[in-house]
Amino acid sequence: MAKVEQTEGYLEGKILIAMPNMADPRFSRSVIFLCAHNAEGAMGLVLNKHLESLSFGELLSQLEIRPDEAVVEHRVHFGGPVESGRGFVLHSDDYTQDGTLKIGSGIALTETIDILRAIARGDGPLRALMALGYAGWGPGQLESEIHDNAWLHASADSEIVFDEDLGAKWERAMAKLGIGLDNLSGASGHA
């Protein structure tokens, strides 16, 4: 009998939504796409905070990639505080290469420079979010934070993930859950 990987109770491919009482300013009002979540921990990318200090053109220049003139400028996102020099591209799954991880819901993750070259040529994925750094949790840490009322979670969809209106993502993610912001409490409790 083949071994079945235990995935029940894990949130890979979902979004995390910071509660209004989030104490860590790096994650205040953040929406995070969880790229991986298992017994060893979790890894995700912040979807609604961009780096004002670095443009896509500057990133390409630093990597010595010359873009086609017709290539549209993209934002570079703050993916999270861990390994802030490491780059990730969260993208639509219409583009794949060796090393692309298909996460589900039409979303994939690629970490190689080749995807940046493809985007610069204009033949990359239809939708993409470039990020430096990531959010990471050790074993049981994310579950503990959820239990302590720091995060809500919801199904991901490409509109929340790739929408350019970063200022409205947090409210839209909350609305996806059907929760009115005036009804939220920072206090956790048990019935």
- Flag whether 110 is in a domain: yes
* Predicted confidence (pLDDT) per residue in 111-138, tens digit: 989 999 999 988 899 999 999 999 999 9
Count of the separate structural domains present in the chain: 1
Q: Quick one: pLDDT band at residue 176, thresholds 50, 70, 90?
A: confident
CATH number of the CATH domain containing 39 = 3.40.1740.10
* Predicted confidence (pLDDT) per residue in 45-55, tens digit: 999 999 988 88
Mean pLDDT for the chain overall: 87
- Flag whether 174 is in a domain: yes
Distance CA 127, CA 70 (A): 16
* Predicted confidence (pLDDT) per residue in 14-49, tens digit: 999 999 999 899 999 999 999 999 999 999 999 999
State residue 38's pLDDT score: 95
Q: Is 75 exposed, middle or buried (0-12, 13-18, 19+ CB in 10 A)?
A: middle
Rounded alpha-carbon distances, angstroms, from residue 12 to 6, 9, 71, 79, 130:
12, 9, 31, 16, 19
- Flag whether 89 is in a domain: yes
- Flag whether 123 is in a domain: yes
- Flag whether 33 is in a domain: yes
Closest CA to 17 of 159, 164, 156, 118: 156
Are 44 and 32 within 8 A, CB to CB? yes
* Residue 12 backbone class (left: φ over 0; alpha: ψ -120 to 50; beta: rest): beta
- Flag whether 2 is in a domain: no
State residue 57's pLDDT score: 84
For residue 157, the enclosing domain spans 14-181
- Helices (H) and strands (E) in the chain — how many of each? 5, 10
State residue 74's pLDDT score: 82
Alpha helices in the chain, H assignment, sequence order = 56-62, 113-121, 141-147, 158-162, 166-176
